[in-house]
Every structure is written in C-alpha cells, then in structure tokens.
Structure 1
C-alpha cells in the first residue's frame, strides 16, 4: 500500500478483522485469481452486467441463534465489563438465512454506498476463503486532499418514527456508547493526523430495508494528514485497525474479551475494504455482511454492549440488523 500510494497507482483493498488476510486489487488487473467486485463513491471494480435478475418473490428468512447461546455470550461479556476490562464491547453473532438470493444479488442490488463481493478462494484456509458479500452503510476513513475523517456508527432504532428518533437521541446507554467510540476514534486519528476534532456528534440518518426504514446514529471526527501521506498509506491504515466501532474500548483488552465470548471467526466481517484512486481514499467497515458456509448463507451482525445493556434488548438488536437494503 505504501509503494502504490507513493507512485499514485489506484488500487482496491480488503483487510480482515484479524489483520492477517489482506488483499490488493490494482485497478487494471487483480494480480491473482480470486474474483472480486467493489463499489465505493470514488470508484468501481468488476463487471456485473450479466448477473441474474432478482427473483420475483424474494425469500429471506433468518434463523436466529438460540437465546441460550446469546445468554452465555452476553454473560461472558458482562463479566469483563464489570471487571473493568472493557467499557464497551461489540458482540457479534452468525445467523443462517434461508433465501433464494445469491451473494451476487446482494452486491448488485443492495442500496448501500459501500459494496464488496469476494469469490471463494480454495487456497485460503477456513473462513477467509469463503465467498462473501458486504453492503455497508458505514465509512471507515475518508481522505480528500490532506483531510482525513472517520464516521463511527453507534446506535440503531428499528423504526423511523418520531418516538424512535427521540429514543435514539435521549437514551443514556446509546449516548454513552457513542461517547466512548468517538473518544476512541479521536485518539486513534491523533496517532496519524494533526488538528483532530469532532466535527459532527450523533447525527441520525435513515436506512431503507425490505422491512421498512430504520434509523442509525453516527459521528464525524476529522484531522489533517502530513503532506507525504500517500507514501505512508499502509502504515496509516494499519495503525487505525481494527476499527473501534466494531471492537470497543480499550481496544486491546476488548479484543481479547471478544475472542473469549464469540464462537465464530469473524474473517473479513468487521474488517475494512476501500479504494485509493491515486489521490484520495474511500474505505468502509465491513458490516451488513453475508458469506457462504458450505451450502448455506450466513449473515453476521452485532451490537455494542455496556454495563447498562439488557440482554433481551441486545439480542433483539442483533437480530434486527439481519436485513437486506433493497428498495423494491
């Protein structure tokens, strides 16, 4: 990434949650055999004009994880929170889905600003070799000129009503969750940029899903990169990972608690993907994510947990996030 940034060569990239499986696709040829497609505000990669149309009747039936499993994972997380190991932890679950959609349908038709598709890779062991599709609403870092910004998304309401908006604005747990992640991301950006400040705090945006409109809460933190930032692009990105909005704070201890509580490998889920066009950068957090698991499709989702969290509410939120954003 440093070399390509220094030469001003455009490329797309994917970095896994564990930072161990990382892919680069140059704009003119991938350089390896794994099929891929990307769509970000700065550019697109991959030809999808011949992909099949959507089924006339879409079937999308999540099979939620057992409540007993979630109770056990939640209890593990809560023990770490009460001990002071973490102030906020993002707990994720894998939900099998019965559907007649394919991963290529999700890439082509999902209404999302950041989309990614990876074909299977038999040479990559385990979860990292699975085909997957992501239709993320959450930018990670964006660079225009020397201005860098990150947009942590924390807080979801499952309806776009006045009451839901008021709850999202006023709920103490949601406010504390946002404050923790904004503080974390402000500190992270300060490692690579100067003049870091919170530009927008807790702004609310609608997201369209097949089940209706939901509301999500984000914040914007910005700073200024050094003039030679493209030649240090890889160092800058890796210094900020894993993304704070999908781990928690403090990051290192929280990641250890996540590994203890979750019974799955995240793989590319909650990693990042992006595009450098030779001058500027777009990247996104890999949430709203489905992958193949044998003959099945699995949707990975999660939510932030604090000492104020109620298990029943967090379980419902994790299930509510299993959706496809189609505007049909």
Structure 2
C-alpha cells in the first residue's frame, strides 16, 4: 500500500522525495512542498563543484579474520550454485567531531541525503533516472585506487572485475525488462573518477535503458518496487542471494544500500545509498562493502571495503 502513494502523487504530477530501505519494506515519502516541515536535507547534482576539506575519520575496523570467515562462507555458497555474485557488506565504528549536518554540508557527491539525526549518505551511484518515457540505470561495479600505475587499464583488464560487472549488467538489464521494453546496454564499462578524501578512486559503470509507457507517472511506485533491492548492491540470482545476505551479515542494513530520489512532476532521478554513516546509541557506524564472485580474492575485497570508508 505504501508504494501506492507514489502512484497517486505521480498521477497528479505532485513532486516528492522518496527514501526506501534496502529491502523495500520501509518507505518515506515527503511531497516537496512539505519538505520544510521535516528535518531532512538532500542534494542531487551531477555537476557539483568540488570543495576541499580536511575532515578525517578514526576507524575501528572489522578484523581481516572475521571478514574472511564471511567471505569463505559466501564462496562456498557460490560453489554450491546458490549465488554467482553477492555484495558483502560490514559496519565499521568511526569517530568524528562532525555532526551529521556538517558531514552533509562538507561532503562532495552526486547524491547526498541527511535524514534527521539518524543517517547521512553521499553516494556516487545512480539508481534509475526517468525522462521523456525513457528509464535508465547505471550499475557501478569495479573500484581501483587511481594512484595505481596505469589504473584505468588495470581495472578494465581485470578478468574478475569484468566477470562481476557483466553479471551486474545482465541482472539490471533483466530488471529493467520487467518494467520497460526495448532494453539496451547503451554504454558498457566506462570510467568515472571519485574523490575519496585524500585520494581518488576510479569506478567502472555501464548505462542501460528501456522505454516506458506514457502512463509511467501513475505507475511510478510499482516500477520502483519491482526494481528493488538494487541489483548492484545485492547480487544474482536476487532471491537466493538476499537469503544468504540475511544469514551472513550480522547487522541490519536498514536504509544503507536502499535508494532515494526526487520526482519533480516530469522526471525522476535517484541514487543508491552507499557511502553511508548512521548514528546509533553508541555513536557512528560507516557501512560499506563490495561484490564477491568465485574469482574474488579475500585480501583485495577487504581492502576495497576499507577504501570505501571516507568523507569525499
């Protein structure tokens, strides 16, 4: 029923902000003309002007041994054929003198959201965009430190990263086929540069799109619900992979790796809520992760999980 609210708002072309948790079980919807009544801030800006800051996080890391136990469990599930790609995440306790409001203001990202004094995200990853009856998604899978010699060539030539990316593209292509027609991969494996605090990361993305019916506005809730959880931060096949995630991850993702977006009455833009800090009774935790395939290396995946803990 909660997703029907989006259909009603879309039918009447009423602009809104929506925020969905990872499992699409909790949905927050705020008409934009009511946003001032809520302690919520957002920014969606692909061409933001980068602002430098010196803010750092003190991290209390999950041990490699504990991470490897989870990694090995996932590898066994892959060998059994229960999953082919699984996004394994963990939470890291962090210390910072900044408030969530200050983190939101300082961080540099395409998609930024602060929800009350509960969480903030600053994500580089698009979920779906809808414009002129075209729905597009941009799976981001594959990360490398830009300082590595010939980093772009290295990441694009890496067979494990290629296999992982192909799986995600195939999953998202199938997902879009559930809600649109004439689905195509418009651009395959292109590089974007992400400012990651004191260094830069290169990330690999692809662009997939499909055609929607003219009535998509009044079905916007149905469309989004069918596409969740986002394939790039769950895995494939989706149902069995989600069951494994629930078993192996010893915490609740909550809104981390969910999605948020803006519908302006004509088009929709949304992002995946990665690069995520949550406030709880014990302080701050930073939630991050990466995709695991049969060819993954535990030390490399552990490093990637840690590399993603930063204020951009």
TM-score by length of 1: 0.89
Q: Which of 24, 27, 32 does residue 27 from structure 1 map onto?
A: 32
Secondary structure at the counterpart of residue 102 of structure 2: helix
Q: Where does residue 288 of structure 1 map in the other structure?
A: 275
Number of aligned residue pairs: 303
Aligned to 1:155: 142
Query: SS of the residue aligned with 2:34?
Result: coil
For residue 261 of structure 1, what is the aligned residue in structure 2? 248
Matches within 5 A, 1:85-164: 85-120=82-117, 131-164=118-151
Deviations 1:31-81 (A, max 9, x none): 9x7521111149xxxxxxxxxxx9x86341222111221011112111111
Q: How does 1:160-309 map to 2 (within 5 A)?
A: 160-309=147-296
Judged with a 3 Å threshold, the aligned counterparts in structure 2 of structure 1 residues 178 and 59 are, in CA distance, closer, same or farther, namely closer
Name the CA distance, whole Å, in 2 between partners of 1:98 and 1:269: 19
- Is contact 1:74-1:261 (8 Å) kept? no
Query: Helix, strand or coil: the match of 2:150?
Result: helix
**Uncovered stretches (5+) of structure 1, i.e. residues with no partner:** 43-53, 121-130
**Counterparts of 2:147 and 2:203 in 1: how far apart (Å)?**
9
Shift in CA distance, 162/312, structure 1 to aligned 2, threshold 3 Å: closer
In 1: Cα distance, 2:56 partner to 2:186 partner = 41
State the superposition RMSD in angstroms.
1.8
Any stretches of 5+ residues in structure 2 without a counterpart? Answer: 1-5
Deviation at 1:159, TM superposition (A): 2.2
Aligned partner (choices 17, 20, 23) of residue 15 of structure 1: 20
Contact 2:56/2:310, CA 8 A, preserved across alignment:
no
- Displacement over 4 Å in runs of 4+: none
8 Å CA contact 1:204–1:217 kept in 2: the answer is: yes
TM-score (norm 2): 0.93
The CA distance in 1 between the partners of 2:298 and 2:310, in whole Å, is 21
Deviations 1:245-272 (A, max 9, x none): 0001000010011111111100000000
